[in-house]
Amino acid sequence: MKFFDRSILFINLIVVFATLLAYISPYIDPEFTWILSFFGLFYPLLLIANLLFIIYWIFKKPKYIVVSVVCILVGWSQLMGFFNINFSGDIEVSKDAFEVMTYNISNASYGYDKKKKDRDVKKAALKEFLGEYTDIEILCFQEVGDYALEILKATYPKYYFHNKDKGAVILSKYPFKDKGEIDFGTITNSCLWADVKLPKETVRIYSFHLQSNQISADAEKLAAQKEIDQKKAWYDIKGMLRKFRNHHLQRSHQVEKIAAHAEKSPYKLIMAGDLNDPPQSYTYSVLADIGNDAYKIAGSGIGTTYGGKLPLLRIDYIFCDKQFTVIDYVSINKNYSDHYPVISTIDWPSIELTE
């Protein structure tokens, strides 16, 4: 075996090891160790790397494809959180089925411009886009500031609104029986809940926005440097890792608060919003234990919901009570925010479960 191929095999083994760490990430509380969550964040890139190694070995030494093939098969359930194929045929939908949308609207920054003329044009385009979804029964938005709230109220004048001052909002075509907030103790991150009186029965809705990693700008700044000062670069990397660790720990505490609140709900649950974490994460696993991931049930193709600098991330979710039937799931890849809207059609069980 030539030196070059031995080197490629060595790198292949490192990638496989990193991928296995990504598989473990959802099952390890970051209070115990946070570093595994870093591998989970880059799972899509690790998956692509494994696929490239398979292609390479097919043409060079086919027996070595087993390394990455076995790795991918071991994490097949993890793959379904990133790329899914929906084999279900036509499903009968009851008259009581309803739709839920979640959308991190980034405070409608797309619709804002310092120049009034341009701002009016962009704002109108955003309102027109949002206006395409005025038939959806329940809308969950995140990162809603005063400017975005003004646009939402103008676009959805007949909806019931539940909003505070921290970004998460719930809109409903039907009245609220009760509503409240799960306070994370931060200014910009929160979770609102509302008991919505749907025609069939009341459902509890959660709209959440968990702590962001806030490392994208740091990574871009580091990558843009033409001349790398190794000492300063290493200092910057350590700072990024420290920030990632602290914010990941924050998210783990926040999601545990949501889970504790949801477990006391007297109604079926819909939990929707921006986790700021991929499916290969502890935060995802906490909510996935409570409800079904709508994408895994009814989604197809690559599940990307984030259109920012970090590629192929799925961080926006709709989790449905396990008694619900998920009929449909779609992500709208339109760049009116750095996130994409996610919509799911949800139906009641054909036979109500009893204790």
pLDDT in tens, 62-86: 999 999 999 999 999 999 999 998 8
User: Is there a single domain that holds both residue 71 and residue 174?
Assistant: no
Q: What's the distance, CA 286 to chain centroid?
A: 13
pLDDT at 230 over 60: no
Residue 212 is predicted with a pLDDT of 87
Would 138 be classed as within a structural domain? yes
Distance in angstroms (rounded) separating the CA atoms of residues 263 and 195: 14
pLDDT digits (tens, 9 = 90+) for 121-136: 999 999 999 999 999 9
Would 122 be classed as within a structural domain? yes
Structural domain boundaries enclosing 141:
98-214+242-347
Distance in angstroms (rounded) separating the CA atoms of residues 82 and 44: 7
pLDDT at 355 over 60: no
Number of residues assigned to the chain = 355
Contact status, residue 245 vs residue 310, Cβ threshold 8 Å: no
Backbone phi, psi, residue 15, to 5°: -65, -40
User: Is there a single domain that holds both residue 190 and residue 137?
Assistant: yes
Query: What does the DSSP 8-state code read for residue 97?
Result: -
Would 88 be classed as within a structural domain? no
Helix, strand, coil % over all residues of the chain, rounded to 5: 45, 20, 35
Residue 277 — pLDDT band, cuts 50, 70, 90? very high
Would 115 be classed as within a structural domain? yes
Burial of 333 (0-12, 13-18, 19+ CB in 10 A): exposed
Q: What is the pLDDT averaged over residues 245-274?
A: 95
User: Is there a single domain that holds both residue 56 and residue 148?
Assistant: no
Residue 333 is predicted with a pLDDT of 93
Would 67 be classed as within a structural domain? yes
Distance in angstroms (rounded) separating the CA atoms of residues 148 and 271: 22
Would 89 be classed as within a structural domain? no
User: Is there a single domain that holds both residue 136 and residue 42?
Assistant: no
User: Is there a single domain that holds both residue 184 and residue 321?
Assistant: yes
Instruction: Count structural domains, the chain.
Output: 2
| % of the chain at pLDDT higher than 90 | 74
pLDDT at 353 over 50: no
Higher-confidence position of 16 and 236:
16
User: Is there a single domain that holds both residue 307 and residue 194?
Assistant: yes
User: Is there a single domain that holds both residue 102 and residue 70?
Assistant: no
User: Is there a single domain that holds both residue 71 and residue 183?
Assistant: no
Higher-confidence position of 159 and 239:
159
What burial letters (b/e) apply to 150-172, b meaning 16+ CB within 10 Å? ebbeebbeebbebbeebbbbbbb
Is the pTM value of this prediction over 0.85? yes
Q: What is the pLDDT averaged over residues 232-239?
A: 55
Contact status, residue 277 vs residue 283, Cβ threshold 8 Å: yes
User: Is there a single domain that holds both residue 17 and residue 126?
Assistant: no
Distance in angstroms (rounded) separating the CA atoms of residues 227 and 26: 37
| 236 Cβ contact list (under 8 Å, min separation 6) | 218, 221, 222
| 341 Cβ contact list (under 8 Å, min separation 6) | 101, 102, 103, 133, 331, 332, 334
Residue 311 is predicted with a pLDDT of 80
Would 87 be classed as within a structural domain? no
Would 355 be classed as within a structural domain? no
User: Is there a single domain that holds both residue 129 and residue 202?
Assistant: yes
Paired sense of beta strands 268-274 and 202-209, if any: parallel
User: Is there a single domain that holds both residue 125 and residue 201?
Assistant: yes
User: Is there a single domain that holds both residue 310 and residue 208?
Assistant: yes
Q: What is the pLDDT averaged over residues 10-34?
A: 94
Angle between helices 3-24 and 65-74 (to 10 degrees): 0
Distance in angstroms (rounded) separating the CA atoms of residues 340 and 332: 6
Looking at 29, 45, 79, the residue that finishes a domain is 79
* CATH number of the domain where residue 195 is located: 3.60.10.10
Q: What is the pLDDT averaged over residues 28-50?
A: 91
Q: Which of 329, 263, 261 is nearest to 293 (CA)?
A: 329
Looking at 79, 112, 130, the residue that finishes a domain is 79
